[in-house]
A and B are shown apart, each in its own frame.
Chain A
Amino acid sequence: EVVLTQSPGTLSLSPGGRATLSCRASQSVRSYLAWYQQKPGQAPRLLIYDASSRATGIPDRFSGSGSGTDFTLTISRLEPEDFAVYYCQHYGGSPPVTFGGGTKVEI
């Protein structure tokens, strides 16, 4: 089973700043890696899939990179609505889906 480790647990930044979130897999997941954003009281929303492809309607300040075991989600200029919890997810394996523990981006 693939284990996803996200770091840091919490990221304290200011609006306009740059956020760099890490997700490390215990074994290669190729590019089967997605990122989700979850705001308080809301369901997760798909941001990035296949490691670097933005989902429909996602602003271009969100970008994903990496392959194999090391992945990064970058938010280039933080907007107030970007402060949330971010999860990485591996899909296509067995079990079919695993999630990282999450990174909270706070002001």
Chain B
Amino acid sequence: EVQLVESGGALVQPGRSLRLSCAASGFTFDGYAMHWVRQAPGKGLEWVSGISANSGDIIYADSVKGRFTISRDNAKNSLYLQLDSLRAEDTALYYCTKRVNSQNPFDSWGQGTMVTVSS
């Protein structure tokens, strides 16, 4: 069974940093691209960032470019998102998702980890 378990969410002040993690199991992690998608309270889904299976391709939404950094450790079956210079508008539930490649949708999602940016 595919499992994606996010962690690391917290209440942080504006301008501070946070690191999110996603532990993957039940599939061949290094065979899949991984992505982060977020959802602000009561709002829709917003794609944040993605990384290819071998980390060779990395891409970000304009809203987080230069502030967030995605990475993965295939030996540990783990995905990460470093969130720097956090803003109130980054407040959201952050989901970890996977897909085979760019021609495919997200086929599995974690349950999310909540990031709240507030003073």
- Answer whether A97 and B109 are a contact pair too, CB < 8 Å, given A32-B103, A44-B45, A102-B44: no
CB closest chain-B residue, reference A90: B105
A55 to B110, CA, bound (A): 17
- Answer whether A95 and B107 are a contact pair too, CB < 8 Å, given A43-B95, A87-B45, A101-B44: no
**Interface size (B, Cβ < 8 Å)?**
23
In the assembled complex, how far is the CB of residue A100 from the closest CB belonging to chain B, in whole angstroms? 8
A66 to B45, CA, bound (A): 22
A32 to B104, CA, bound (A): 8
Instruction: Report if B35 contacts A (CB, 8 A).
Output: yes
Asked if A92 contacts B102 (CB within 8 A), the reply is yes
Asked if B105 contacts A99 (CB within 8 A), the reply is no
Which of A49, A96, A100 has a CB less than 8 Å from the CB of B102?
Answer: A96
Complex interface bits, B74-118 against A, C-beta within 8 A gives 1, otherwise 0 = 000000000000000000000100010011111111111000000
Residues in B neighbouring A98, C-beta threshold 8 A? 47
In the assembled complex, how far is the CB of residue B5 from the closest CB belonging to chain A, in whole angstroms? 11
A-B contact pairs, 16 of them (CB 8 A): A32-B103, A34-B105, A34-B106, A36-B106, A43-B110, A43-B112, A46-B108, A55-B107, A89-B105, A91-B106, A95-B47, A96-B50, A96-B59, A97-B106, A99-B46, A101-B44
Known: A45-B109, A95-B47. 14 other contacts (CB 8 A): A36-B106, A43-B111, A44-B45, A49-B107, A87-B44, A89-B105, A91-B102, A91-B103, A91-B105, A97-B35, A97-B37, A97-B47, A99-B44, A102-B44
